Structure 1
């Protein structure tokens, strides 16, 4: 009798769930996609490790075009590679996928993951910290830490660099602290620990993603990984808290000395809003943690990959150098804002690198209303998996998509492409707030390094020889670089 009751109860629950999802199921049946099994869905297809997940996704590019679906448990994910669909989704569906809820911890209440109503409030508050006049004031800071990067390379000349990302990341983290706050980076003693903690958070998050049973919350909380994740998040928060404490000290010191307090910059601006209770201290802590990671790690990865690409293609590197010499004829002259704006070919090289290798290769969104795209209805309750990497290598948009060609970004060619055929910083109102910050930082560091050094890539004949692991961001595994001092 007990067994019958259990079976009946389970069947009843299944029927109720299916009935509630009837509209979702009805439209999902009309969308082609991966084989799914009860409860698990298509999750077994995602069981690849972080080392080969990117390869698994890339192998499925053609089968994903133009629209497909897969299930992770009871969650429907729709994949579309049509730029018009992507534009509609990213414009109208501002809610992030529940997938991001698994991040928890260090950036749970930040711009990355917030519910739309709170995100709009935070974005409106943070936007003034990224207006042009403030961004332009960051230029000298970017130059300073780029110079420090060059000094490191001078000292290491002739030595093969197999982990340059870590070195660049230290400089970009210092740069982030110096631009987003009034704090001197040297006042924060555990900056390297912050980088280690951020990497650990990413590794465990992706490990959880690839072991679908860990997505079940009570199993996750019983796991050893959960404890490690919490510990890494606590380190991240402690360092952000330290920066906030130092910000208060710095502001008081600047008041006493009569020096300028940069009250409009990111952290002091938010602390001022905290005084009028427009944002809580906890929310500031989360936003500060996100901004430090996002502004420093993405820049470090992008610089490293551009240098690698230029080492593989020396003819393109020479064109970059010729442009640099024409704009900056002497090595002693630091690049000004005007100089950086004139480096058009370097800008095209950076953009083409981000086309082939977008640091954030996927975007996930959620819709609570039906979205009609072409002949399909994407039903309310769906998640959208927007594969930036696929859009950027679509042969229907990009002739010879695997060829590295900076001239794809000449103005007359850009204007002929649809908006969402190229979205390294996402698209729409919920795009990356640090787009211009990132481009300025990357261009200043590359210009400073490439004026001083010729870079060679060891053991790689093509960008396709680079091996990748996916840790929220794409990270190279087998890059080795040599730097040779330029003669002036």
Structure 2
């Protein structure tokens, strides 16, 4: 009789010790986060539950994650919060708040760590101290002299797009992004490296692989249980993600190997040769070259392809605006066969405003996430240390407090006298502050040259859209349009 009693007492004691430990851990965690919880509690937000926060709301569809966040903020503007497990995301559309965040909070949110399988040692997600070192080392590869030397490359591949559209004249284009992406990827290889073009066919393997990486990355966030690393590591989705990352790295490694053997590499200041020189002087590691190159090659080509496609789609919807673009092109490029020079491109003011207005309504990068390790005062709230700060560019650019008739497509918003009247953080398609996009000028030059070349040769029309608001989107890492039907008619002048 005594032995069972001792066993019961021992079991009870173990149970209560376990419960006590759990309670102690919970209290300790809450105590450490007391100021974060206190300040976050004051900020409005959607319903949340212990442990999960509001993450359970994200499980409906792949697009639901960002769609929910945008709708939540839109209904709680200008400031709201969202709990995802133990992480709090504080969101604001006030330009003054955005300036404080992007100027003072240079650390990227842990959210981006989920991309670590492919670009953990790149400018996008490096810790601040390493990011500063890399940015300082990489900047020389994007100076004006080097960027201007890329002009002929951008013209070459823009002309190839014209040839493709000429061959396909009269046929509906339902997947133009992929075609443009091939050309922008080719031009990225030619501008960022001195590698000979025989690698282009293999390079294009990056397109479906990149789509797979982005897709699996976002799927993790609509299956909230996969936010827990243990379940993610065991999931089939993670296996797909890692497989795609390995494939991407294999392609990039091959390019790096070819660059090391290139006879022109030692005399070039282009991006990859420059990184290899830094590697030889021990300033940058092999893995860092791989991941910086992965980011730069894919990001520069994909964002350019998406921007060109969206501008063409919107001009197809608004033929009167397209005609103004064409008349400007005729005045600057009097013949179809004339290739745009750097001086010509600088004179295309209306086209530039069209591109800017497109990026206002449809920013390719729809959000920015930063992390703060100190309290940020944004009256009447305190954004507490330890929180993720979410800047929804897509809503900032459509805020009726800043933009009159924000859903109207109006390129003249970007006339110089109107720009000066707005807060400088009311329009940030390339981010803002010292951690902005290093490829800003590269991207704008590439986009302008390709659009100028295409629109001087073709008239574009959409077959199923009457307004830009009818375009359907995939909310991934980048904002991507779903299929739209475009038709190109060759100019006969």
Normalising by structure 1, we get a TM-score of 0.96
Q: Report if aligned partners of 1:187, 1:246 keep a CA contact under 8 Å in 2.
A: no
Note the C-alpha offset of 1:4.
Answer: 2.7
1:373 CA drift (Å): 1.1
Asked if structure 1 preserves the Cα contact closer than 8 Å seen for 2:186 and 2:200, the reply is no
More off after superposition, 475-484 vs 446-455: 475-484
Deviation of 1:54 after TM superposition, in Å, equals 5.1
**What is the 5 A alignment of 1:437-456?**
437-456=442-461
Residue 42 of structure 1 deviates from its aligned partner by 1.2
Check conservation: 1:111, 1:122, Cα contact below 8 A.
yes
Structure 1: how far apart are the matches of 2:35 and 2:72?
Answer: 28
Confirm or deny: 8 A CA contact 2:393 2:429 kept in the other structure: yes
Change (3 A) 1:369 1:407: same
| Alpha-carbon distance between aligned partners in 2 of 1:157 and 1:229, rounded to the nearest angstrom | 38
Q: Which residue of 1 aligns with 2:360?
A: 355
Name the residue aligned to 1:338: 343
2:363 is equivalent to residue 381 of structure 1: no
Alpha carbons of structure 1 residues 71 and 55: separation in structure 2 relative to 1, 3 Å: closer
Q: Is the 8 A contact 1:96 1:113 kept in 2?
A: yes
Cα distance in structure 2, aligned partners of 1:26 and 1:304: 46
Q: Equivalent residues in 2 for 1:331-480 (5 A)?
A: 331-480=336-485
- Residue equivalent to 2:94: 82
Q: 1:476 to 1:52 in 2, by over 3 A?
A: farther
Provide, for residues 3-57 of structure 1, a one-character-per-residue CA deviation record: whole Å limited to 9, x for no partner: 3333222212111110110111111112111221100011123334234555434
The reply on whether 1:218 has 2:230 as its aligned counterpart is: yes
CA RMSD of aligned residues (A): 1.3
The 3 A distance-change label for structure 1 pair 367 and 52 is closer
Question: Is the counterpart of residue 183 in structure 1 residue 188 in structure 2?
Answer: no
SS at match of 1:469: strand
Matching of residue 114 in structure 1 with residue 97 in structure 2: no
Which one of the candidate residues 307, 310, 313 is aligned to 1:308? 313
Taking the aligned partners of 2:490 and 2:89, their CA distance within structure 1 comes to: 50
Query: Structure 1, residues 139-195: CA drift from partner, whole Å, max 9, x if none?
Result: 110000000011010111111011100000000000000000101233343122111
Could you say what secondary structure the match of 2:90 adopts? strand
Is the 8 Å Cα contact of residues 182 and 262 (structure 1) preserved in structure 2? no
CA distance in 2, matches of 1:481, 1:449: 13
Gaps of 5+ in 2: 1-11
Q: Which residue of 2 aligns with 1:18?
A: 30
Distance 1:61 1:98, change over 3 A: closer
Change (3 A) 1:314 1:53: farther
What TM-score do you get using the length of structure 2 for normalisation? 0.96
Partners of 2:343 and 2:392 in 1: how far apart?
A: 35
Aligned length: 481
In the TM superposition, residue 274 of structure 1 has moved relative to its aligned partner by 0.7
Q: Alpha carbons of 1:462 and 1:53: their partners in 2 closer, same or farther (altered >3 Å)? A: farther
1:193 and 2:193 are equivalent in the alignment: no
Between the aligned partners of 1:48 and 1:65, the Cα distance in structure 2 is 24
> Which of 256, 261, 277 is residue 244 of structure 1 equivalent to?
256
Alignment partners' CA distance in 1, 2:307 and 2:169: 21
For the residue of structure 1 that corresponds to 2:220, the secondary structure is helix
The answer on whether the counterparts of 2:260 and 2:276 sit within 8 Å (CA) in structure 1 is: no
For residues 148 and 417 of structure 2, the distance between their equivalents in structure 1, rounded to whole angstroms, comes to: 27
Where in structure 2 are the equivalents of 1:80-159 lying within 5 Å? Answer: 80-159=92-171
Mapped contact 1:64–1:80 kept (Cα < 8 A): no
Is the Cα–Cα contact under 8 Å of residues 54 and 469 in structure 1 kept in the other structure?
A: no
Task: Give the secondary structure class of the aligned counterpart of 1:103.
Answer: helix
Match runs of 1:293-304 below 5 Å = 293-304=298-309
Report what 1:46 is aligned to: 58
Q: CA, structure 1 residues 53+483, in 2 after alignment: closer, same or farther (shift >3 Å)? A: farther
The answer (yes or no) to whether the contact 1:360–1:473 under 8 Å persists in 2 is: yes
Q: Deviations over 1:240-295 (max 9, x none)?
A: 11111111222x2x48xxxxx65211000110111110001110000000001110
Deviation string, structure 1 residues 338-362 (Cα, Å, up to 9, x no partner): 0000000000000000000000101
- Contact 2:65-2:221 within 8 A present in 1 as well: no
